Amino acid sequence: MNTHQILLPYFTQAFADRKFSSSETKAIKQILREHSLDHNQRTMLLHDLFAMTEEALCQGNNREVMDWLRKANQILIDADQAVSDRSDVYFSPGHDCLNAILEAINQARKSIDICVFTISDDRISEVLIRRHLAGLPIRVISDNEKMEDQGSDIRTLSDARIPVRIDRTPNHMHHKFAIFDGESVLTGSYNWTRSAEKYNNENILITNQPRVLRKYQTAFNKMWEEMEVY
């Protein structure tokens, strides 16, 4: 069932009452936050809304119906603004990538899921431990071989009681992404190391696009179940 099909019953019920209850409005906006409505689905939904109101308009209930239709359109506009895509890009060498990671960690309020090849930058690890000790749920997935490198902070994070899982294969867990509050994802080539900040040509992308975010969260959850507790 696509987003258009999920939404239509809510609009149909609201039209039967000629008004949107607070619970209907909240439910519609929640659906639009969790499921993308692409151009074709939006066109189909608007077609159905106009078809729904056409007969009532022919019967002379113009003001009441037009008020309802304006409200329906406003709900869609408000939802679009609430989930408007926000994407930012950062590059190294330089402080921009590190600062973007630190800011995302410090601004998180509900959870952080981290899936990175290696963490050896103490500035990142210290902030993670501080947020963990303050009660923020944090999960970390990393590569089993890289955690043996000198300077790796994976053991330090685990010793601080941050849940850590690692792969136990001859291949690398080479991802570099983190999900914040289930609302934005940070990804790119940037390793969470001091050399990445000082010397390497690297990049980070932060986005809140729902479809992209869902795919990253699904991948993280799958790996979390499959990998070994450290």
From the candidates 35, 48, 71, 181, give the one annotated as an active-site residue: 181
Q: Which residues pair with 229 in a beta bridge?
A: 165
Dist. CA 78–CA 68, nearest whole Å: 15
In the prediction, which pLDDT does 179 show?
98
Maximum alpha-carbon separation in the chain: 78
With residue 142 as reference, give the H or E element that holds it. strand 138-142
In the prediction, which pLDDT does 38 show?
73
- What are the C-alpha distances in Å from 85 to residues 20, 44, 81, 100, 107? 26, 22, 9, 18, 18
176 is catalytic: yes
In the prediction, which pLDDT does 37 show?
74
The answer for 93, left when phi > 0, alpha when psi is -120 to 50, beta otherwise, is: beta
In the prediction, which pLDDT does 156 show?
96
In the prediction, which pLDDT does 85 show?
63
From the candidates 4, 132, 146, 176, give the one annotated as an active-site residue: 176
Q: Which residues pair with 116 in a beta bridge?
A: 176
Q: Which residues pair with 113 in a beta bridge?
A: 139, 179
Pairing of strands 184-187, 202-207: antiparallel
96 is catalytic: no
In the prediction, which pLDDT does 178 show?
98
How far, in whole angstroms, is CA 102 from its chain's centroid? 17
pLDDT in tens, 184-193: 999 999 999 9
In the prediction, which pLDDT does 61 show?
66
In the prediction, which pLDDT does 124 show?
98
Residues of the chain with pLDDT under 70: 36, 61, 80-85
Q: For the chain, which residues make up each domain, given as ranges?
A: 3-82, 87-229
In the prediction, which pLDDT does 185 show?
97
In the prediction, which pLDDT does 173 show?
95
3-state class (DSSP) for residue 36? coil
**In the Cβ-directed half-sphere of 211, how many Cα atoms lie within 13 Å?**
5
In the prediction, which pLDDT does 64 show?
86
CATH topology assigned to domain 87-229? Endonuclease; Chain A (3.30.870)
In the prediction, which pLDDT does 84 show?
58
- Single-letter amino acid, residue 186: L
Q: What is the pTM of this model?
A: 0.67
110 is catalytic: no
From the candidates 19, 95, 110, 174, give the one annotated as an active-site residue: 174
With residue 201 as reference, give the H or E element that holds it. none
